[in-house]
Amino acid sequence: MKLASLSTPGGLDNLSITDAPDPGEPGPGQIRVRIHASSLNFHDYGVVTGVIPTANGRIPMADGAGVVEAVGEGVQEFNAGDHVVSTFFPHWLDGPAPIDNFSTTPGDGVDGYAREVVVGPAHGFTHAPANLNHAESATITTAGLTAWRALVVDGGLKAGDTVLTLGTGGVSIYAVQLAKMMGARVISTSSSDAKLERLKTLGADEVINYRSTPDWGKAVQELTHGRGADHVIEVGGPGTLPQSIEAVSIGGHISLIGVLTGRAGDVPTARLMAKQARLQGLIVGSRAHQQAMVRAIEANGLKPVIDRQFPLAEIADAFRYEASGAHVGKICLTI
At residue 261, the pLDDT reads 67
The CA R_g of the chain, rounded to the nearest whole Å, is 20
Alpha-carbon span 55 to 10, nearest angstrom: 10
Alpha-carbon span 293 to 129, nearest angstrom: 9
Domain 144-281: give its CATH code.
Answer: 3.40.50.720
Alpha-carbon span 2 to 118, nearest angstrom: 11
Alpha-carbon span 134 to 113, nearest angstrom: 13
Find all residues with CB under 8 Å of 88, minimum gap 6, and list them.
62, 105, 106, 141, 142, 145, 283, 284, 285
At residue 79, the pLDDT reads 98
Sequential pLDDT tens for the chain (335 residues): 999 999 999 999 999 999 999 999 999 999 999 999 999 999 999 999 999 999 999 999 999 999 999 999 999 999 999 999 999 999 999 999 999 999 999 999 999 999 999 999 999 999 999 999 999 999 999 999 999 999 999 999 999 999 999 999 999 999 999 999 999 999 999 999 999 999 999 999 999 999 999 999 999 999 999 999 999 999 988 889 999 999 999 999 999 997 766 777 788 889 999 999 999 999 999 999 999 999 999 999 999 999 999 999 999 999 999 999 999 999 999 99
Alpha-carbon span 6 to 19, nearest angstrom: 14
Neighbours of 224 (CB within 10 A): 18
Q: Are 250 and 277 in contact (CB under 8 A)?
A: yes
What are the two backbone dihedrals, phi and then psi, of residue 197, each rounded to the nearest 5 degrees?
-65, -40
Give the burial string for 80-119 (b: 16+ CB within 10 Å, else e).
Answer: eebbbbbbbbbebeeeeeeeeebebbbbbbbbbbbbbbbb
Alpha-carbon span 146 to 167, nearest angstrom: 15
In three-state form (DSSP H/G/I as H, E/B as E, the rest C), the secondary structure along the chain is: CEEEEECCCCCHHHEEEEECCCCCCCCCCEEEEEEEEEECCHHHHHHHCCCCCCCCCECCCCCCEEEEEEECCCCCCCCCCCEEEECCCCCCCCCCCCCCCCCCCECCCECCCCECEEEEEHHHEEECCCCCCHHHHHCHHHHHHHHHHHHHHHCCCCCCCEEEEECCCHHHHHHHHHHHHCCCEEEEEECCHHHHHHHHHCCCCEEEECCCCCCHHHHHHHHCCCCCEEEEEECCCCCCHHHHHHHEEEEEEEEECCCCCCCCCCCCHHHHHHHCCEEEECCCCCHHHHHHHHHHHHHHCCCCCEEEEEEHHHHHHHHHHHHHCCCCCEEEEEC
Domain 2-139+304-334 in CATH 1.10.3720.10? The answer is: no
Neighbours of 242 (CB within 10 A): 16
Neighbours of 155 (CB within 10 A): 25
At residue 258, the pLDDT reads 79
Which residue ranges does the chain devote to CATH 3.40.50.720?
144-281
Which residue ranges does the chain devote to CATH 3.90.180.10?
2-139+304-334
Please compute, for residue 81, the number of CA atoms within 13 A of its CA located in the half-sphere on the CB side. 0
What is each CA distance from 215 to 240, 242, 271, 297, in whole angstroms?
10, 10, 15, 35
